[in-house]
Amino acid sequence: MSQPQERHLFIPGPATAEPEVLEALAAPIRPHYGPDFVADYNGCRARFQQALQTHNDLFLIVGPGTAALDAAFSSALPDGARTLVPVNGWFGERTAEMLRAHRCEVEELPFELGQPIDSDMVAARLAEGEFAAVAWVHHETSTGVLNPIEPICRAARAAGALTIIDAVSSLAGTELAVDDWGVDLCVSVANKGLAAQPGLSGISVSERAWAAIDSNPDTRGWYLDLRTWRKYDQEWADWHPYPTTVPSGLVGALDTSLRLILAEGLDERIVRTREAALRVREGLRELGFRMFVDDDYASPITTSAYPHPDLPVGEMITELREQHGIYISGGLAGLAGKIFRIGHMGRSIEKEETDLLLDAIARLLAHRQAQKENASVEGASV
């Protein structure tokens, strides 16, 4: 049987993990309880806190980032809570949709696709109305735009509103200082910038968030109620500080990746991510591609670009995958077929990988242009 083609993941998550992380995942299954595992679990939590730059309580929710966002919304916001959602992409729209499902009164503040959220406009709206919370996406993965956090948190605190941040794809790829910026509830995951396997998400909870949670008279479940997680963390701390079966292998893999990142230095990882994004953006421009997002607010974690006139998006994605084992993403929703997206996380930030990507795109483009030229010559000779 032929060997499967090596996959080079340049999608905006999940990311290709380091060999040490894969080895940790392949280790014999451990029980998810008892003092030995709990010590390792708590160490993983502490390193996740370090990556988020927070001393706030942190829980490792078993599930994707969506589960942790559900935990934030359902725990902190009662029915009818007025919530402001700045929106500049598909994941911002999704945030508003989730909040409505939690019976919140949602007001969307829209911004143009490919443009960042304007913190002054958000601050002005917060000052005008009484909102229980403001919730937004740090890195809008659907467009590759990086949104501000600190000035909005400052305005929200002045207005008495909680701040809920979707940092699912931004952690370890760009600056994210939860405590210094005053983020109340911050959600991220194992499988994006932390480059481990999907299945675990982290959520940090500030004292202000706990006050809101404890005063919330409404519940929408048990498993994703953060009060449930706090109860087990406190009452079952020595052998089972979580209300469910924890995937011990995923915890081990995530902890391995966190150790690697922190040993390298979080700042250095962020620098390497930014350098990889710059290499790709410059390389694409040299090949004749036009960027979708201006350099001033382009995310270092996802590059989005318009298709080349000689290479339609769908064909480019398919041929990169089938001919080179390289995976990139197309646009979402209204941007489907109009842009493509390249993720910079995990092993894809290594120079050898970005060189491989750019070389493969150059080959596809040269082949298409040669075909076009030959067809033109043949047409002229008829």
What is the spatial distance between Cα 328 and Cα 316, in angstroms, rounded to a whole number? 9
232 Cβ contact list (under 8 Å, min separation 6)? 240, 241, 242, 243
Helix (H, G, I), strand (E, B) or coil at 297: coil
Burial (CB count within 10 angstroms: exposed 0-12, middle 13-18, buried 19+), residue 43: middle
Domain with CATH 3.40.640.10 in the chain: 19-262
pLDDT in tens, 141-179: 999 999 999 999 999 999 999 999 999 999 999 999 999
Angle between helical axes of 65-76 and 226-235 (0-180°, round to 10): 100
Tell me the two tokens of residue 84.
Answer: 């402001």
pLDDT in tens, 73-120: 999 999 999 999 999 999 999 999 999 999 999 999 999 999 999 999
Looking at residue 377, its pLDDT comes to: 60
pLDDT in tens, 182-204: 999 999 999 999 999 999 999 99
Tell me the two tokens of residue 320.
Answer: 């990169």
CATH for 19-262, options being 3.40.50.1950, 3.40.640.10, 3.40.50.150, 3.40.50.10440: 3.40.640.10
Contact (Cβ atoms closer than 8 angstroms) between residue 329 and residue 13: no
Which of 327, 351, 342 is closest to 276 using CA atoms? Answer: 351
pLDDT at 2 over 60: no
pLDDT at 375 over 80: no
The total of other beta-carbon atoms located within 10 Å of residue 133's CB is 24
What is the spatial distance between Cα 327 and Cα 106, in angstroms, rounded to a whole number? 36
The verdict on pTM exceeding 0.85 is: yes
Question: What phi and psi, each to the nearest 5 degrees, are found at residue 221?
Answer: 160, -175
For residue 330, the 8-state DSSP code is E
What is the spatial distance between Cα 120 and Cα 151, in angstroms, rounded to a whole number? 8
Question: What phi and psi, each to the nearest 5 degrees, are found at residue 51?
Answer: -65, -35
Q: Write a three-state SS string for 365-382.
A: HHHHHHHHHHHHHHHHHC
Compute the Cα dihedral for 106, 111, 115, 118 and give only its sign.
negative
Looking at residue 380, its pLDDT comes to: 61
Q: Tell me the CATH class for 8-12+265-381.
A: alpha beta
Share of the chain above pLDDT 90, in %: 94
**Parallel, antiparallel or unpaired: strands 340-343 and 329-330:** antiparallel
pLDDT in tens, 208-245: 999 999 999 998 999 999 999 999 999 999 999 999 99
Contact (Cβ atoms closer than 8 angstroms) between residue 267 and residue 275: no
Looking at residue 1, its pLDDT comes to: 34
Domain with CATH 3.90.1150.10 in the chain: 8-12+265-381
pLDDT in tens, 24-58: 999 999 999 999 999 999 999 999 999 999 999 99
Amino acid at residue number 297 = Y
